[in-house]
Amino acid sequence: MGVEGTMDYISEFLKKRKRMKKKQMQTVALRVARIDCEGCERKIKHILSSVKGVKSVDVDVKQQKVTVMGYMDPKNVLEAAKSTRKKVELWPYVPYTMVANPYISQAYDKKAPPNMVRKVLDTALVNETTVDDSYTVMFSDENPNSCFIM
């Protein structure tokens, strides 16, 4: 392996480095049911900190909330949390100032922390009732081809 071999190795290494995407720092909040004792907390913290790219894991036993920060994929964090054999879901609550209509019944939850409401999609709020225009114009006096019933 002479100078040419070394140069080839370095050029391949730099190409691979350019191809690798740098992930952004992310925060993933999870709701983990049944965090009862320090052993459960330690187990969850250990498993989630072993995921590649995780920098810190914070467990809030009172709210049953786990916050994971790092350069990782949220799907990998969710899968790792499910491997603890506990019920795991993404954190369903947001501050009430972040929701367009926090006063609807779908947003309120008795188990929500103070000043928090459930995430509600805006599409669930809108009930579209589109009426076909042909039905409304069918019996109009302005339309000469309309049906005449009278």
- Concatenating the DSSP letter of every residue in 96-149 gives GGGSS-TTSTTT--TTSPTTEEE---HHHH-------HHHHHHT-TT-TTS---
pLDDT tens digits, one per residue of 25-83: 899 999 999 888 999 999 999 999 999 999 999 999 998 999 999 999 999 999 999 99
Residue 105 has pLDDT above 50, yes or no: yes
Q: Which fold has domain 22-125?
A: Alpha-Beta Plaits (3.30.70)
Q: What is the pTM of this model?
A: 0.59
**Three-state secondary structure call for residue 42:** helix
Report the distance separating Cα 70 and Cα 60, nearest Å.
18
Compute the 3-state secondary structure of the chain and give helix, strand, coil in percent, each to the nearest 5: 35, 20, 45
